[in-house]
Amino acid sequence: MENILVIYYSNKGSNKYLAGKISKSLSCEIEEIKPRLNIFLLFLMNIHLGIKPLKNRIEDFNMVILCGPIWMGKLIPPLRSFIKKYYNKINKLIFVTCCGSTDAKKDEKFGHGLVFKEVENLLNDKCIICQAFPVGLVLPDNKKEDTDAFMKTHLNDENFKGEIQERFDNFIKKINVMR
């Protein structure tokens, strides 16, 4: 059985960047979730037609790392479709998000904490870790809670340093201990 597969969906690129970094650091396969209808506005209205079949066999991996954004405090349709479609084939899953909500606001209406609970409920004991990388980690202190600033900020090699890099390194260490 193969070890780890990174699966991601990204609209503006931050989660693609993060997923790529995870796959490089763990030297593992990566695959993008491709919705049948990739229209952002329709997703926001919860209109979606599911996702295209993946090339990788999910059941061949001990662990899937699922990475994607959070919109409107919800688990986004492409990620939800992935979990529902492949539930029986998933052995263990780690959920990762580059999102807007800070750690301090994770349990508020649009916080990542609520989405983590949703993922854990959908996956029962198959979900072993949920990890957030809020975009604010790459912003100066006075901009961390600034919605306008984090909506305009995307992860890249220039800004992925300091606090976010430290959180990332700890995350990779944790996974390497488990594999």
Ligand X SMILES: Cc1cc2nc3c(=O)[nH]c(=O)nc-3n(C[C@H](O)[C@H](O)[C@H](O)COP(=O)(O)O)c2cc1C
Give the binding range for ligand X (CB under 6 A) out of 31-39, 54-62, 67-75, 87-95: 67-75
Closest to ligand X by CB, 99 or 119? 99
| Angstrom distance (rounded) from CA 76 to CA 3 | 26
Closest to ligand X by CB, 26 or 139? 139
Give the binding range for ligand X (CB under 6 A) out of 5-13, 23-31, 55-63, 157-165: 5-13
Closest to ligand X by CB, 1 or 131? 131
Which residue shows structure tokens 């807007």? 100
Contact code string over 31-60 relative to ligand X, x by CB under 6 A = ------------------------------
CB neighbours of 98 closer than 8 A, spacing ≥ 6? 14, 15, 17, 18, 67, 69, 132, 133, 134, 135, 155
- Burial of 126: CB neighbours in 10 Å, binned 0-12, 13-18, 19+: middle
| Angstrom distance (rounded) from CA 81 to CA 66 | 12
Per DSSP, the chain holds a count of helices (H) and strands (E) of 6, 7
CB of 109 to ligand X, least distance (A): 8
Number of residues that bind ligand X (CB under 6 A): 21
Question: Does residue 100 belong to the site contacting ligand X (CB under 6 A)?
Answer: yes
What residues numbered 112-171 form the site for ligand X, per CB under 6 A?
A: 112, 135, 151, 154
Question: Does residue 15 belong to the site contacting ligand X (CB under 6 A)?
Answer: yes
